[in-house]
Amino acid sequence: MRTLVGMLAGWLAFSGLVLAQEEDKRTLGHFPLPETGNVIGDTYRVSVADQEQTLIDIARQHNLGYREIVRANPDVSLWIPGEGTEVTIPGRFILPEAERTGIVINIAELRLYYYPEVGDGETSRVETYPIGIGREGFDTPLGVTETTMNIKNPAWYPPESVQREARERGEEAPSVVPPGPDNPLGDHAIILGFDGYLIHGTNQPDGIGMRASRGCIRMFPEDIESIFDRVPAGTQVQIVDQPIKIGLGSGRPLVQVFPPLGEEKHDMSTLADTLARLDQLGSEGIALDYGQLARLLDASSGRIMALSPAPPDEPESQEEDLRYGIYAELAHSGKDRQP
């Protein structure tokens, strides 16, 4: 009897642990909306549990996509990070500049933000999830639309482009792929008002956080399942391209920069636009380190960085003058720009 009681107690404790872990996984990426400002989440570090764990495994466990985890850990092996290796989890985000309602998708950072409706007395919140988007030549469309229908266990009808590519390979594409493990839509699909575009699950989760689809928005299976029943038809969907997001933290301007889609680097016009937005944010009159801002645009690491005040005048090398002098000149002349 004592053995049975002990086994039962152990089973209940284990069940409680599993349920707690599942609850943590469900609520990861859920944040109350900040009372002031537009910054949510935190950056933290974890240790690799064992030799079998990959960086992609860790990304999925911590609500991140492929590019996010790789950018944050450039010196860590993707497939064999090694037991005990410390991994940075970039879980801090600046909210996109968009109406905080329904779904907001920022393709530049490959991330979706969901603002669920809340009842009286409930705290307004935001949920954020990594996504996959259209690869080059199959760009995900920008603009405002809405959800039209939610379909569980959808069938996939390969478009003409897929069938044409199959014929070019000497293969024959099926006219329909039924629900199941071979269906690229996964088990859940949310149809958008943009003709032919969906938010859906996937049978290839390693592609989350990459440009890998034909224009649709892919989510981890567990992520789309978590919002599927809470996104009614008619929910507004805003798809934006904001590679540079700005915010305020402890009174200092914050910048989060991602690489521009389809381009190698941000150009001079990007810097000018960022300076204008910083002025609108309230940093006008504050002398910022424009050289630092230029370096952040060059790096495009996706990490949130606080802009420093301009350093005191000190002699600099000719190389630094050549590289950043034009930025400073543009920055100061930008104060006189007309709106």
Query: CA separation (Å) from 213 to 131, 185, 230?
Result: 10, 11, 24
Distance CA 184, CA 200 (A): 9
Mean pLDDT by groups of 10 residues along the chain of 339 residues:
49 41 61 92 95 96 96 95 96 95 97 94 95 91 97 90 81 86 95 95 94 93 97 97 88 88 76 79 66 86 86 49 45 44
Active site residue 200: yes
Rg value, the chain, Cα: 23
- What is the model's pLDDT at position 173? 77
216: annotated active-site residue: yes
Q: Are 208 and 219 in contact (CB under 8 A)?
A: yes
Torsion of CA 101, 60, 25, 234, to 10 degrees: 30
Catalytic residue, chosen from 62, 188, 200, 266, is 200
Owner of token pair 């930025």: 327
What is the sign of the dihedral through the CA atoms of 309, 313, 319 and 323? positive
3-state secondary structure of 125: strand
The catalytic residue among 30, 62, 188, 216 is 216
pLDDT, residue 16, reads 43
- Token pair for 331: 């920055």
Residue 313: per-residue pLDDT: 59
> What does the angle CA 62 – CA 68 – CA 70 come to, to the nearest 5 degrees?
105
| pTM for this prediction | 0.83
What's the pLDDT score for residue 339? 39
Strands 102-106 and 111-115: antiparallel
| 3-class secondary structure, 83 | coil
3-class secondary structure per residue, 219-244: ECHHHHHHHHCCCCCCCEEEEECCCE
pLDDT of res. 165: 80
Q: Where are the alpha helices (DSSP H) in the chain?
A: 2-27, 55-61, 66-72, 160-168, 221-228, 268-278, 290-299, 318-334
pLDDT computed for residue 278 by the predictor: 81
Rounded Cα distance between 132 and 162, Å, is 18
Contacts of 211 (CB under 8 A, 6+ apart): 110, 132, 133, 134, 135, 136, 261
